[in-house]
Amino acid sequence: MSHANARLTPAGRLIMVRRIATGRPPAHVAAEMGVSRACAYTWWGRWQAEGKAGLLDRPSHARSHPRRTPACTETRIRISRHLSRRGPVAIAAHLHVPASTVGRVLARHQTPPLAACDPVTGQVIRASRRRANRYEHDRPGSLVHVDVKKLGRIPDGGGWRARGRAATADHRHKKAPIGYDFVHAAVDDHSRLAYAEILGDEKGATCAGFLTRAAAFYASHGITIERVITDNAMNYRRSRDFTAATAAIGARQKFIRPHSPWTNGKVERFNRTLGAEWAYSRPFASNDDRAALLPTWLDHYNLNRPHLGIGGRSPINRVNNAAGQYS
């Protein structure tokens, strides 16, 4: 099929070569048809060599790709993505191939983006949303994103992920519900250095205590918090305890635009990673087992895990680089 701006379709090419076949100069026929002489000579040559079949559209891609990624490597990349549900940077580090190669292979095989997939099953569950305008503060501590992620507690013996839905249907009829864990998280905008705790609620006083401990964590890495951004929940906006805690650490409190959760995108994306790589990474036998794994996973996230948003480096590397730059 001809492209949208093509001067000639196969039928128009046939008219052109028939005019040339009467003995008229190809340049004169090309001027009549509104194309270049080179175009006219090209189709005239194909007509002489192949007849009417030579006037049909041909694919523009190369017939061979000698430098294309080997099929075995492509298969390893696709299997790694299916099993780990990780992005190109993490897969590249595991398979020792360039991240750009991983991205091209996944795109060539029309692999859906991680943001559109269920973090547990990998099935597509939502449409992707992309926002062109991104921001990043120029130094650690300039802005810290804070949020709470609510997780259902795991009953002793394992939940439905470990035992199946039929075996755990009785939990829905218990008078005393199992309840929820509230994962409070803070992420530095520049370095992506993260701090998280599992607490019993999301009240203002609880959030204030978390912020105080988060500030001590960042201070241990040489980072002073200057601004704290949260959503517009009452435990942040109307809590005197949280306001006092923000002032006590010498920071200024900021809020996202209403109905714009992507304004707090750094911690929102961290929450999704936390769910996929920690909370729902395996069937846990109990809630304590899951909670015990959080500190280990946080150390991996901050010290070893490559982060696509900061060029494939780990958060601690960016903290150290910034410390050397501003020292």
* 67, part of any domain: no
Same domain assignment for residues 106 and 191: no
Q: What is the CA radius of gyration of the chain?
A: 29
Same domain assignment for residues 230 and 106: no
d(CA 9, CA 62): 22
* 224, part of any domain: yes
d(CA 241, CA 203): 10
* 197, part of any domain: yes
* Burial degree of 255 (CB within 10 A; 0-12, 13-18, 19+): middle
Token reading at 98: 């360039």
Same domain assignment for residues 115 and 210: no
Total number of domains constituting the chain: 3
Q: Average pLDDT of each block of 10 consecutive residues along the chain (327 residues)? A: 70 92 92 91 92 86 84 94 89 93 92 82 66 75 94 75 55 64 94 94 94 95 94 92 95 88 88 91 87 95 89 89 63
The pLDDT assigned to 46 comes to 92
Q: In the 8-state DSSP scheme, what is residue 257? A: P
Chain-centroid distance, C-alpha 97:
19
Same domain assignment for residues 303 and 248: yes
Chain-centroid distance, C-alpha 194:
17
Same domain assignment for residues 173 and 259: yes
Q: Residue 227, SS3?
A: strand
The pLDDT assigned to 43 comes to 92
* 230, part of any domain: yes
In sequence order, what DSSP letters do the residues of 71-127 get, joined into one string? HHHHHHHHHHHHHH---HHHHHHHHTS-HHHHHHHHHHTTPPPGGGB-TTT--B-S-
* 24, part of any domain: yes
Same domain assignment for residues 164 and 293: yes
The pLDDT assigned to 135 comes to 78
* 41, part of any domain: yes
* CB neighbours of residue 287 within 10 Å: 19
The pLDDT assigned to 61 comes to 78
Q: What residue numbers bound the domain in which 36 lies? A: 10-55
The pLDDT assigned to 322 comes to 72
Cα dihedral 139→144→149→154 (10° resolution): 70
* 243, part of any domain: yes
d(CA 101, CA 89): 10
The pLDDT assigned to 164 comes to 58
Same domain assignment for residues 105 and 229: no
The pLDDT assigned to 170 comes to 56
The pLDDT assigned to 118 comes to 78
d(CA 197, CA 259): 26
Cα–Cα separations (whole angstroms), residue 26 to 15, 32, 127, 265, 301? 12, 10, 52, 61, 67
Q: In the 8-state DSSP scheme, what is residue 110? A: T
Same domain assignment for residues 167 and 271: yes
Among 70, 100, 130, residue at a domain's last position: 130
Residue with tokens 């190809």, as numbered in its chain: 26
The pLDDT assigned to 206 comes to 95
What residue ranges in the chain does DSSP mark as E strands? 144-152, 180-188, 194-199, 227-230, 252-255
* 310, part of any domain: yes
In sequence order, what DSSP letters do the residues of 34-61 get, joined into one string? T--HHHHHHHHHHHHHHGGGGGS----S
Same domain assignment for residues 267 and 231: yes
Instruction: Find, among 48, 100, 107, the residue nearest to 78 by Cα.
Output: 107
Amino acid at 25: P
Same domain assignment for residues 95 and 46: no
Token reading at 231: 């959503």
The pLDDT assigned to 96 comes to 93
Domain with 291 in it: what CATH number? 3.30.420.10
Same domain assignment for residues 45 and 105: no
The pLDDT assigned to 104 comes to 93
d(CA 185, CA 145): 8
d(CA 143, CA 190): 8
- Residue 132, C-beta contacts closer than 8 angstroms, at least 6 positions apart: none
The pLDDT assigned to 120 comes to 74
The pLDDT assigned to 158 comes to 65
Residue 207 exposure: Cα atoms within 13 Å on the Cβ side = 26
Same domain assignment for residues 162 and 270: yes
